[in-house]
């Protein structure tokens, strides 16, 4: 499923990927060989999807982070620019005024969901928890739907043509 998420997210417009080793991840990226293999596979999928969708840039796959590293990255990001998809969030993604957002980070949890401790740490660091709608989506679906919504809610898709 992670490869499907990379493919769909690339087609919809993701700029980069970082694998998050969340507490409830079913697949574990333990050890350098497994990390290298996974990152190479994600990179190949991103290349193929970028070519298919006529994107001039291939989104890089920038490694694997722990929850602690993700929280630190969130803490150093500008306020309101890290969005965490969570089915229990009080804010809908469409409630946010993102028309003038320059850059956003979208955090999508694993199939097992984001743990209470993880969502608490991320929001305490400045992330905004958002929901997509009334249903719970698979990780790959949620990423693509959220990126599509962000493309429409920001100026990202305004007047752009494929490859431009």
**Please, what's the b/e burial string for 78-87 (b: 16 or more CB within 10 A of its CB; e: otherwise)?**
eeebbbbbbb
**Please, what's the b/e burial string for 7-40 (b: 16 or more CB within 10 A of its CB; e: otherwise)?**
bbbbbbbbeebebbbbeebeeebeeeeeeeebbe
Q: Residue 159 has what pLDDT?
A: 59
Q: Residue 156 has what pLDDT?
A: 80
Which helix H or strand E contains 18, and what residues bound it? strand 17-20
- Band of pLDDT at residue 44, cut at 50, 70 and 90: very high
Residue 163 pLDDT > 60, yes or no?
Answer: no
| Cβ 2 vs Cβ 26: under 8 Å | no
Give start and end residues of each alpha helix (H) in the chain.
2-12, 32-52, 67-76, 116-124, 139-153
Domain 2-153 has CATH 3.40.1280.10: yes
What is the average pLDDT across 119-141?
95
Q: Residue 108 has what pLDDT?
A: 96
Average the pLDDT over each of 25-34, 99-108, 125-134, 152-161 and give the range with the smallest value.
152-161
Separation CA 10–CA 26 (nearest Å): 23
Q: Residue 164 has what pLDDT?
A: 47
Mean pLDDT of the chain: 92
Residue 158 pLDDT > 80, yes or no?
Answer: no
Cβ count near 94 (within 10 Å): 13
| Domain residue spans of the chain | 2-153
Q: Residue 160 has what pLDDT?
A: 53
Residues of the chain with pLDDT > 70, as a percent, come to 96
| Cβ 54 vs Cβ 162: under 8 Å | yes
């Amino acid at each position: 499923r992670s490869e499907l998420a990379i493919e769909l997210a690339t087609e919809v417009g993701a700029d980069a990927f970082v694998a998050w080793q969340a507490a409830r991840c079913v697949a574990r990226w333990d050890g350098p060989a497994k990390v290298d293999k996974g990152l190479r596979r994600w990179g190949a999928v991103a290349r193929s999807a970028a070519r298919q969708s006529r994107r001039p840039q291939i989104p890089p796959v920038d490694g694997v982070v722990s929850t602690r590293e993700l929280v630190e990255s969130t803490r150093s990001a500008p306020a309101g620019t890290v969005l965490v998809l969570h089915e229990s969030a009080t804010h809908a993604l469409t409630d946010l005024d993102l028309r003038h957002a320059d850059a956003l980070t979208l955090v999508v949890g694993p199939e097992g969901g984001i743990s209470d401790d993880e969502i608490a740490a991320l929001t305490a660091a400045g992330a905004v928890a958002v929901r997509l709608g009334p249903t719970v989506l698979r990780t790959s679906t949620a990423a693509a739907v959220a990126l599509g919504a962000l493309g429409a809610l920001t100026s990202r898709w305004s007047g752009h043509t494929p490859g431009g």
